[in-house]
């Protein structure tokens, strides 16, 4: 029953999306804000509610393990812990598409409910665009990926969930990432709405900014969480593999990062109008491209659930309609969006434009590297593109970007001179050179990690330079947001460079009682025990790890055997200190009774994820600051209007 209600709610929500589209189109044509067009807002809010209900219905059938629902039977198991039953609802193709559509509908409902700053006509056009995009994905869900399909006969038992996904990571990583991915649809719809009604103004940018920031914060958190999850779950000791699916999340992040900076320029200086619109379109296009890559089955990875060519062509068609349509609209309207304000090269805008271009160049590099294997496969040549391509080629654009990132916030808007900030420039240059020399003495090896370390130290200092000579108590919260986010980038960069420069690895085969050293650690294999969990059994290695001869801390990596579905996984163990992590993986038993053990000491590796969290925190501060400013601005306007009205009555 609940499944049928969820299914019906989805059809109703799709109908409301159609109403939104028609209403918005009428508003554009007739120029009326009432009648059907006036229904766009309520329709969007109701649509969000219905999609939310459908999603809860799916959670419910998973929670009670209703085995007459095909999706539950294929992906769940009555013996799974409840948290994994619930998160298993989106650990499959249909469920994850439902999550996608739900987030899209909720975002649409939210802007309809709270966004009052824009002209009503632009707002209706925006909701029409949001409805139009949602409609395509409702069609995809209902026609080719119905999550509520029933089985003719209920199954006796579910097939279970991939054990790699039976982890708290699945509960956190996909929803966060989807809020980011699909949250960018709002930026896309705003851009389309503004193009349709030709109102690309600073007010429009101020309305769009919190939504872009919000989506970007979720995207940042989602990528950070996903990276950490891959790091500890896969047991390979790496945190980023340039896997196509990882790239699919990085590309919208790069575009969104560029967008949130250019939208700031538009909001404060009324420049970069066309560029901002373009980025609004590109950012969500990258989200949809990512969805296509992951959900169509053109790629094989732990992220791709089922290979079904029909679904692939469906998403490809949606992609062509939405991206193609938006780009066509852009081509038609770009020339009619009038020129914004001018600025000098040496100015805040100049630096932001430079970094926007660098981010776009990195995006192009990642995009080409991700699609290249797909292209060559069409000619039956199989290649794989990995770190030897991505690392140096993206670094060529990342290094100048990091340098300008340190300088840009010191420059004034509109026009400035480098002479004015010559002291700061000298400090930045000195820090880079000192950092290079200092770390070269330690490491002296590969160039990229060395540059990374030096640039990270420089940026960590430089990110606080904009605070110099300012009253910290009266500093707007949004400026704190920028400082924290830029500092977060420096912290993450330091972690990445340190991991790649200073990691040590040790492979050893140990008898019980023997020990191995890695970096400052000594690890002793105390015993090997069989253990059992709710749906698995495992061999557990009990070890004592001591740091620089200190007291031994117990660690117990496992090699697990799941039985539904039957699969072996390695459960690595991480021992975290402030200055790094010990990473231990238990391997197989060698022929002579020794046990294989793989150990890493990764100095400062945790900084990667602390940095990611700081970046997201910066985004949150920026949202708070901007919303606060906006409320203040509106209350001043309101008071002014009231006073004028009073004057008139007098």
Partner 1 sequence: MKAKHQRLVLIALALAALVGAGLLAAYALRNQASYFYLPEQMAANPPEPGQAVRLGGMVEPGSLETLPDGVTVTFAVTGREDSRIPVRFAGILPDLFVEGSGVVAEGRLGADGTFVADNLLAKHDENYVPRELEGMSEHQAAEMAEETTVGLE
User: Binding residues for partner 1, per CB under 8 A?
Assistant: 162, 164, 236, 275, 299-302, 304-306, 339, 342, 353, 357-358, 360-362, 364-365, 368-369, 372-373, 376, 381-386, 388-389, 392-393, 396-397, 507-509, 565, 567-570, 585, 587-588, 590-592, 594, 596, 598
Q: How far is CA 55 from CA 7, 146, 181, 462, in A?
A: 10, 12, 18, 45
Compare residues 568 and 635 and give the one whose CB is closer to partner 1. 568
Checking 61-67 for CB contacts under 8 A at 24+ apart, the result is: 61/2, 61/3, 61/6, 61/148, 62/86, 62/88, 62/89, 62/95, 65/158, 66/2, 66/3, 67/151, 67/154, 67/155, 67/156, 67/157, 67/158
Minimum CB distance to partner 1, residue 294 (Å):
13
Minimum distance from residue 595 beta carbon to partner 1 (Å): 9
Of the two residues 471 and 591, which places its CB atom closer to partner 1 in the complex? 591
For the bound state, the minimum distance from the C-beta of residue 369 to partner 1, rounded and expressed in Å, comes to 7
Residues facing residue 470 across a β-bridge: none
As a whole number of angstroms, the distance between CA 272 and CA 266 comes to: 6
Smallest distance from partner 1 to CB 541, Å: 12
The residue among 236 and 438 lying less far from partner 1, judged by its C-beta, is 236
- To partner 1, the closest distance from the beta carbon of 164 in angstroms equals 8
Q: Minimum Å distance from CB 89 to partner 1?
A: 18
Q: Quote the CA–CA distance of 538 and 144 in Å, as a whole number.
A: 39
Query: In the complex, what is the shortest distance from the CB of residue 209 to partner 1, in angstroms, rounded to a whole number?
Result: 22
Residue among 128, 274, 122 at smallest CA distance from 197: 122
Task: Return the number of the residue (198 or 342) whose C-beta is nearest partner 1.
Answer: 342
Residues in CB range of 454: below 8 A, 6 or more apart? 431, 432, 433, 434, 435, 436, 438, 439
Quote the least distance from Cβ 564 to partner 1, whole Å.
12
Helix H or strand E segment including 574: strand 573-577
Closer CB to partner 1, residue 588 or residue 628?
Answer: 588
Q: Which two tokens stand for residue 440?
A: 């070269």
* 417 neighbors 347 (Cβ within 8 angstroms): no
DSSP reduced 3-state for 359: helix
Single out the residue of 561, 569, 573 nearest to residue 598, CA to CA.
Answer: 573
Which CB, 253 or 390, lies closer to partner 1? 390
Which SS3 state, helix, strand or coil, does residue 563 take?
strand
Residue with Cβ nearer partner 1 (302 or 447): 302
The minimum distance between CB 75 and partner 1, in angstroms, equals: 11
How many other CB atoms sit within 10 Å of the CB of residue 80? 21
HSE, CB side, 13 Å, CA atoms: give it for residue 376.
Answer: 10
3 state SS of 566: strand
CB of 205 to partner 1, least distance (A): 18
- Residue 254 or 267 with smaller CB distance to partner 1: 254
Q: Which is nearer to partner 1, 75 or 287 (CB)?
A: 75
Considering beta carbons, is residue 282 or 428 the nearer one to partner 1?
282
Q: Which two tokens stand for residue 271?
A: 């420049």
Shortest gap between Cβ of 368 and partner 1 (angstroms)?
4
Contact between 625 and 480 (Cβ < 8 Å): yes
CB of 525 to partner 1, least distance (A): 12
Nearer to partner 1, 137 or 397 (CB): 397
Read off the tokens for 300: 């094989």
Please state, in angstroms and rounded to a whole number, the distance separating the CA atoms of residues 147 and 102: 13
Nearer to partner 1, 121 or 598 (CB): 598
Tokens representing 608 are 């990667």
CB 151 within 8 A of CB 69: yes
* Alpha-carbon span 537 to 315, nearest angstrom: 40
Least Å distance, CB 31 to partner 1, is: 30
Q: CB–CB of 184/279 below 8 Å?
A: no
- Helix, strand or coil, per DSSP, at residue 508: strand
Q: What is the DSSP letter of 158?
A: -
Using the 8-state DSSP alphabet, how is residue 150 labeled? B
The DSSP symbol for 553 reads E
Residue-by-residue DSSP string for 252-291: HHHHHHHHHHHHHHHHHH---HHHHHHHHHHHHHHHHHHH
Q: Which residues contact 340 (CB under 8 A, 6 or more apart)?
A: 266, 269, 270, 271, 272, 273
> Would you say 593 or 640 has its CB closer to partner 1?
593
Q: Can you say how many angstroms the Cα of residue 640 is from the centroid of all Cα atoms in its chain? A: 41
Judge if the upstream peptide bond of residue 565 is cis by omega within 30 degrees of 0.
yes
Query: Shortest approach of partner 1 to residue 179 CB, angstroms?
Result: 26
């Amino acid at each position: 029953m609940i499944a049928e209600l969820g299914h019906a709610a989805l059809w109703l929500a799709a109908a409301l999306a159609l109403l939104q589209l028609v209403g918005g189109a009428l508003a554009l044509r007739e120029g009326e804000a009432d009648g059907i067009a006036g229904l766009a807002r309520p329709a969007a809010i109701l649509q969000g509610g219905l999609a939310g209900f459908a999603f809860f219905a799916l959670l419910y059938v998973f929670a009670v393990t209703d085995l007459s629902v095909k999706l539950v039977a294929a992906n769940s198991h009555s013996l799974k812990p409840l948290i994994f039953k619930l998160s298993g609802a989106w650990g499959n193709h249909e469920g994850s598409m439902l999550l996608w559509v739900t987030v899209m509908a909720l975002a649409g409902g939210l802007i309809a409910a709270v966004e009052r700053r824009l002209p009503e006509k632009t707002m209706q056009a925006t909701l029409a665009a949001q409805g139009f995009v949602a409609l395509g994905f409702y069609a995809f869900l209902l026609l080719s990926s119905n999550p509520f399909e029933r089985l003719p006969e209920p199954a006796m038992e579910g097939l279970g969930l991939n054990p790699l996904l039976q982890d708290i990571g699945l509960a956190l990583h996909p929803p966060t990432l989807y809020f980011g991915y699909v949250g960018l649809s709002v930026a896309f719809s705003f851009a389309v709405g503004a193009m349709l009604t030709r109102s690309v103004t600073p007010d429009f940018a101020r309305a769009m900014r919190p939504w872009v920031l919000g989506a970007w914060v979720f995207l940042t958190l989602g990528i950070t969480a996903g990276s950490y999850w891959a790091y500890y779950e896969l047991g390979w000791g790496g945190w980023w593999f340039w896997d196509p699916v990882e790239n699919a999340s990085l590309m919208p992040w790069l575009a969104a990062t560029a967008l949130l900076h250019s939208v700031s320029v538009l909001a404060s200086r009324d420049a970069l109008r066309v560029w901002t619109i373009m980025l609004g379109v590109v950012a969500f296009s990258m989200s949809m491209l990512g969805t296509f890559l992951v959900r169509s089955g053109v790629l094989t990875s732990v992220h791709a659930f089922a290979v079904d060519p029909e679904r692939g062509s469906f998403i490809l068609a949606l992609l062509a309609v939405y991206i193609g349509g938006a780009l066509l609209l852009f081509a038609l309207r770009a020339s009619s969006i009038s020129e914004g304000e001018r600025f000098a090269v040496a100015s805040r805008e100049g630096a932001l434009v430079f970094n926007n271009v660098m981010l776009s160049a990195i995006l192009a590099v990642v995009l080409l590297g991700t699609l290249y294997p797909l292209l060559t496969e069409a000619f039956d040549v199989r290649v794989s593109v990995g770190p030897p391509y991505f690392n140096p080629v993206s670094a060529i654009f990342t290094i100048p970007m990091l340098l300008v990132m340190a300088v840009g916030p010191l420059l004034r808007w509109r026009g400035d001179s480098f002479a004015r900030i010559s002291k700061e420039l000298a400090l930045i240059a000195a820090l880079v050179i000192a950092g290079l020399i200092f770390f070269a003495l330690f490491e002296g090896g590969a160039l990229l990690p060395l540059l990374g370390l030096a640039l990270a130290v420089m940026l960590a200092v430089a990110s606080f330079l904009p605070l110099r000579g300012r009253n910290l108590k009266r500093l707007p919260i949004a400026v704190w947001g920028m400082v924290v986010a830029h500092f977060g980038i420096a912290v993450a960069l330091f972690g990445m460079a340190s991991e790649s420069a200073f990691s040590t690895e040790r492979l050893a085969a140990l008898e019980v009682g023997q020990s191995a050293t890695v970096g400052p650690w000594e690890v002793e294999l105390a015993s090997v025990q069989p253990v059992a969990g709710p749906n698995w059994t495992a061999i557990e290695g009990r070890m004592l790890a001591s740091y620089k001869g200190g007291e031994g801390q117990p660690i117990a990596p496992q090699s697990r055997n799941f039985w539904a579905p039957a699969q072996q996984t390695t459960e690595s163990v991480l021992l975290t200190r402030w200055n790094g992590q010990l990473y231990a993986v238990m391997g197989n038993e060698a022929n002579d009774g020794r046990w294989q053990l793989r150990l890493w000491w990764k100095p400062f590796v945790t900084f990667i994820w602390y940095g990611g969290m700081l970046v997201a925190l910066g985004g949150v501060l920026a949202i708070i600051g901007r919303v606060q400013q906006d409320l203040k601005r509106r209350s001043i306007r309101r008071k002014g209007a009231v006073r004028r009205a009073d004057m008139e009555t007098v």
